[in-house]
Chain A
Amino acid sequence: MARFVLRRLGSAVLVLFAVSILTFLIFEVIPNGNPALRLAGRTATPANIAAVERIYGFNKPVYVQYVRTMEQIFTGKIVSYATGVNVISQLKQALPVTASLVLGAAVLWLFFGIVLGLLAGLHAGSTIDTGISALNFLGISAPSFVIGYVLIYVFSFKLHVFPSSGYVGLADPLGWAYHLAMPWVSLAILYTGIYSQVLRASVVDTLNEDFVRTARAKGLSHRQVTLHHVLRTSLIPVVSLSGLDIAAVLGGSAIIIEVVFDLPGIGYYASQSIGALDVPPVLVITLFGAFAVVIFSTIADVVYGLLDPRIRVAGSR
C-alpha cells in the first residue's frame, strides 16, 4: 500500500510539472499578451515598458522566466502583475470559501445521489425509477448557473427567503449555511443527477451478480442484502468518481457558481485573473487545481482499495 501511494505521488509530481509548463506556455503564446504593456500603465513610454520588462524579467528567455516564476511560487513570494498583491495570501483567503462551497455541496450530492441511485436501482423499471431518472435528466441537462439563477429568482427576488449573494465565514455557522444554501443546491443538482445514474447502473449490475443471489439464499433480510451486499459493492465506482469530481470542483469548476453568487472563492479569483490576463494567479490556481486532482484521486484510489480487496492485491504486487 505504501509503495502504491509513493508511486502515485511520484507521477503526481510529474503531472504538476507538466501542468505548470503548459499553463505558462498558454499565456506565453498569447499575442498582445505582454504583461509589461499593462504593468507600465496606459500612458507608458517605450522606456517605461523596457524598464518594467527589465524589473520583471520579461526580456529574459521563456525558461528563465519560468524558473523564476516557479521559484517565487514555492517561496510564497509571487505577486499579481495586475494588482501587485501576493497571490498565495489571496489564495489562502479564497480557499475557505471554495472549500465550504464544494464540501457542503459534495455532502448533499453524495447523500442524495446515493439515496436516489439506490432507490432507482432497486426498483429498476418501476414508477419510482422513472421519476428519479426524470429528475436526473433535469439535473444533468440544466447547467449549474442556470439553476443558480432560477433559485435566485424564486427564493431571493420573489420569496425573499435566501440572500442572492455574499459569503459569511464559519465563525457564524448559521449565517454561513444560510448564505451557502443556494450555491450548495445549484452545484449539487448536477452531480446528484450524475451520481444517482452511476449508482443506479451499478446497483442493477450488482443485483444480477451471483453473490447477491447467494446472500438471499442464505436467508438474509432484504435490508441486509441491500445494504451489506448490494450497496457496499455498488458504491465502488462512485468512490473513484467522487475523488475526481470533488477535486475538479475545488480546483476551479466551482468558478461559475462563485460568479453567479458573488462568492469570493478560488474560481472567482481565477475568472478575474484570467480576464485580466494576469499570469501569476492563474498559474498558481491551475497548479493548485491539478494538485487537488492528484491528491483526491490518490485518496480515492486508496479508499477504492479498501472497499475492493481484489484491487488491493493487484496494487501491492
Chain B
Amino acid sequence: MTALLAVEHLQVEFRTEEGVLRAVDDVSFELQRGELLGIVGESGSGKSVTAMTIMGLTRGPNASFSGRAVLGDLDLVTASERQLERVRGGRVAMIFQDPMTALNPVHRVGDQIVEQIRAHQSENRRAAMDRAVDLLDRVGIPRAKERARSYPHEFSGGMRQRVMIAMALSCSPEILIADEPTTALDVTTQAQILAEIGTLRKELGVGVLLITHDLGVIADVADRVVVMYAGQVVEQGSLSDIFYDPRHPYTWGLLGSVPRLDADRPERLPTIPGTPPSLLRRPTGCRFAPRCAWRFEACSRPPALKSDDPETDEHTGRCWLDLDVARERRVVGGTLGLPVDDRTTAGGGAANP
C-alpha cells in the first residue's frame, strides 16, 4: 500500500540574525490512510516546523529546504504556491495549538468556515453556510445555527477548538494535522477533543498527524509514534514499541516524566535535566549526549537511525547503546525512565559550543 504522505529526508533551515538555524534535519516518516501518527518532542525539536513545512507555511526569504514531502503525486516542498493553496485546507487541513488566537477575532465563525469552503469548492454562500452549520453541529456545538453567527471571543476554549476542527473538516481532507490541539485546554476538554479526533479518523478514514510534547496525549489514540529531538528523528515505531520497548534514552526520559496512575506516586515528577541544544550550534555527536546520563565515548560521533531487529525496520532508534544494555538501563526504580546525571550541565546546549 502506498503511503498517503511520505516525508523523505526533509531538511529545513532558516537564516537568522545569529546564523543559520537548522530546524529540521533529515526527517523521514510515512503516514497511511486512516492512521494516527504521533510526533512527540520538546519545544524546538522541529515537530511544528515539520508540520508547517508540509503545509508550505514555512516558506520565506530566510528559509531553505531540501528533501521531499510527497502527497499523492505532488511534492509539497517544491509545489507551486498555487498548487499549495489547493492542498491547504482542501487535501490537508490543520488545527493549531491555541484556539484563542487561531481564529480571526473580527469575523463570525460561520463566515470563517464558509470562507474556506468557498476557497475550494464552487458553492454559493447559502449552501456553504448550511454546510458550515452542519459541521458545527457535527463537532458537538449546541444550537449550531445560532452560534455560527457568533464571534470567536464568545466561545470557550474547547468550543473554539471544535470550531477549528469543523473548519478543518469542511473540505473533507485526506490528512488532518493537529499541532498541539489540546495544550491550551483543560484536561476534560482535552479528552473530549482527542476523542473527537479519534472518531473522525475512524469514520472518515482521515490520516492524522498529531503533534504534541506530551506522550500522555497520544498514549490512547496513536497507531505509530515518531520521537523528535533537536530537529532529528531519534526514535520511530509502533505505539507499543515506543511505550513498552523504547530504544532511545530521550524516549525513556519522556516516558519517565509522564504522570502515571498505575505506579506509586514519586516524590517529584522526574524531568529531563538540561535544555535542548541550540539549533544554531548543534553538538557534533549525538545531540542528546549532553543531557544523557548514559553517554560514553561513542556518543561524540553522530549515531545513525537504525533498526536492531534484522527482520523489520518498523522500529528504529538513534543511539549507540546496544539493545541489551539499553533494555537493562532504561528501568529506573521499577519503571521506565532516565536517571538524573550529576555530569549533566545546566543548559546542555551551551555546554557544547
Contact = CB atoms under 8 A, between A and B. Distances in A.
Interface of A: 125-126, 209-211, 213-222, 224, 228-229, 232-233, 307-310, 313
Contacts of A309: 105-106, 151, 153
A220 B115 contact: yes
Interface of B: 55, 57, 61, 81, 85-90, 93-94, 96, 98, 101-107, 115-116, 119-120, 151, 153-154, 164, 167, 171
A219 B87 contact: yes
Nearest to B82: A221
A214 B153 contact: no
A180 B57 CA distance: 48
Contacts of A220: 85, 89, 115-116, 119
A189 to B, nearest CB: 31
Nearest to A215: B104
A216 B171 CA distance: 15
A311 to B, nearest CB: 10
B167 A218 contact: yes
A219 B119 contact: yes
Secondary structure type dominating chain A contacts: helix
B55 A217 contact: yes
A216 B88 contact: yes
B102 A221 contact: no
A210 B85 contact: no
14 contacts: A210-B98, A210-B102, A211-B103, A213-B57, A218-B119, A219-B116, A220-B89, A221-B85, A222-B81, A229-B104, A232-B106, A233-B105, A308-B105, A309-B151
B13 to A, nearest CB: 18
Most buried by B among A125, A126, A213, A307: A213
Given A224-B119, A309-B153, A218 B105 contact: no
A218 B89 contact: yes
Given A210-B102, A233-B104, A308-B106, A217 B153 contact: no
Nearest to B98: A210
Given A309-B153, A313-B153, A219 B102 contact: no
A217 to B, nearest CB: 4
Given A220-B116, A232-B106, A209 B85 contact: no
B107 to A, nearest CB: 8
Contacts of B89: 217-220
A219 B120 contact: yes
A216 B61 CA distance: 17
A219 B105 contact: no
B115 A228 contact: yes
Given A217-B93, A219-B85, 14 more contacts: A210-B98, A213-B57, A214-B104, A217-B55, A218-B88, A218-B115, A218-B167, A219-B86, A219-B89, A220-B119, A221-B119, A233-B104, A310-B105, A313-B153
A218 B115 CA distance: 9
B2 to A, nearest CB: 24
Contacts of A218: 88-89, 115-116, 119, 167
A307 B106 CA distance: 7
A311 B24 CA distance: 41
Contacts of B85: 219-222
B101 A209 contact: yes
Contacts of B171: 219
Contacts of B98: 210
B119 A211 contact: no
Contacts of A308: 105-106
A125 B93 CA distance: 30
A211 B215 CA distance: 27
Contacts of A233: 104-106
Given A219-B85, A222-B81, A211 B105 contact: yes
Contacts of A213: 57, 96, 102
A218 B61 CA distance: 22
Nearest to B81: A222
A217 B119 contact: no
Contacts of A222: 81, 85
B297 to A, nearest CB: 44
Contacts of A210: 96, 98, 101-102
A209 to B, nearest CB: 7
A313 B151 CA distance: 10
A217 B104 CA distance: 13
A210 B98 CA distance: 8
Contact of A211 (B55, B90, B102, B153): B102
